[in-house]
Amino acid sequence: MKLYKRIIYRLAKNDTPLAITERIKQAFSALATDLNDIKFFVNDSIHGVSGINRLLKQYPALTAYLHTVETSHGSEQRLTNLPVGWDGSNPNGCTESIEIDDAIEIIRGVKRRYPLNKLTFIFDRLPMLSRNPNCSMVEPVPFFVKGRLHSPKLFTPSVTGWSDYPSPCIRLQSDWWISGRNNFMDAIVELGDLADGIPQLELNETERQLLESIGEIYHERIFAAPSNEEEEADIFEKMMTGERIVRQFYENGNLFGVDYPYKLEPLLLGDHVSEPLSVKKAITAEFKKRGFTFNTKYSNGGVYTITKVTNNHHLVKLTFTRGKFDADVLCVGSIEGPLWNHEFELPAAHNNMKPYRVTRQIEVDHQIGNIAAAYDATEKPIIEAIDDLYGSGLPWLTYL
């Protein structure tokens, strides 16, 4: 099992993609190190002005990376050098790296001159972020991670830890989000292989100095990837068994064996006078006694995350999402180890009850109370069964 550390940055208003990229260039210039593998992905919005057309007019050499894909919304132009096997890869096989100065010029035009929908840069295979001296010789390949089976996604901007990428790199993304640009940056340090013993889990002085020179670190977490095909095959077999364990307790979105304590009635707008609502208060009341604690770094914007560790040192995570306009509260549970993850729904009622408007705290309390009953119904047949399936975990792994 190979271990990596993912570093997530806190970006201030003045941490624009251009400013960040220039800092990255400066940091590596100071180390007299070239950025020889810069992967990138940009796409156009199908509405409005084409940023890609404007970009190609200014830099026609980028045409080699151009291709068009059909989406559910229509034809979409893309420029990328991602290799085959990754989500959004270049079907023309053009994977040649771009230069750092080219990356800076592209970013300099976003968002006005080149109104690109999404822009991702991966400054990849960086020797100074790997304790393996041969890291720069190895091209990352898709691997099983966290229950998504052969997940090829390189990057999803979220503090919830999605898109672990098995390569020492720095990643930067900027995309349109509602009324402005959403910017995100993280870095990945290759720690080592457990076959060689438990590596140093904390960043060393050189790694930290480099990473802090390009931004303010917000969060750090460990993730893992299989060391070889045999380990990957073993995990795959157990994952398939775990999925069967989960599926046998659901039918058409309903969870078997739940004795819901509250009858939830659909409410219409204006049925009751609205009052201040606290989803966190209701979650705490029901789940603190079940051994869960809040994780504040994974709770924001109407998302509430609580966790606890199993007997075999695997992580149980419940993620509550407050619906739009104070509609119902939804909950997805999961149990995970270093290389796998199994999700299960925790519905608040039978028969796929449609969302209803919440206007009083008691309605939130009843929803969370029913979700707690659903959790109780899954604890032994799903959570404990999967915990036993994988056996003892890594007692020093913190997951989050």
Question: pLDDT tens, 208-247?
Answer: 999 999 999 999 999 898 888 899 889 989 999 999 999 9
Return the HEC string of the chain.
Answer: CEEEEEEEEECCCCCCHHHHHHHHHHHHHHCCCCCCCEEEEEECCCCCCCHHHHHHHHCHHHHHHEEEEEECCEEEEEEECCCCCCCCCCCCCCCCCCCHHHHHHHHHHCCCCCCCCEEEEEECCCHHHECCCCHHHCCCCCCCCCCCCCCCCCCCCCCCCCCCCCCCEEEEEEEEECCEEEEEEEEEEEEEEHHHCCCCCCCCHHHHHHHHCCCEEEEEEEEEECCCHHHHHHHHHHHHHHHHHHHCCEECCEECCCCCCCCCCCCCCCCCCCCCCCHHHHHHHHHHHHCCEECHHHCECCEEEEEEECCCCCEEEEEEEECHHHCCEEEEEEEECCCCEEEEECCCCCCCCCCCCCCCHHHHHHHHHHHHHHHHHHHHHHHHHHHHHHCCCCCCCCCC
pLDDT digits (tens, 9 = 90+) for 57-104: 999 999 999 998 887 777 889 999 988 878 788 888 899 999 999 999
> Is the pLDDT confidence value at 355 over 60?
no
Whether residue 45 has pLDDT greater than 90: no
- The pTM is what? 0.86
pLDDT score of 326? 52
- pLDDT the model gives residue 81: 93
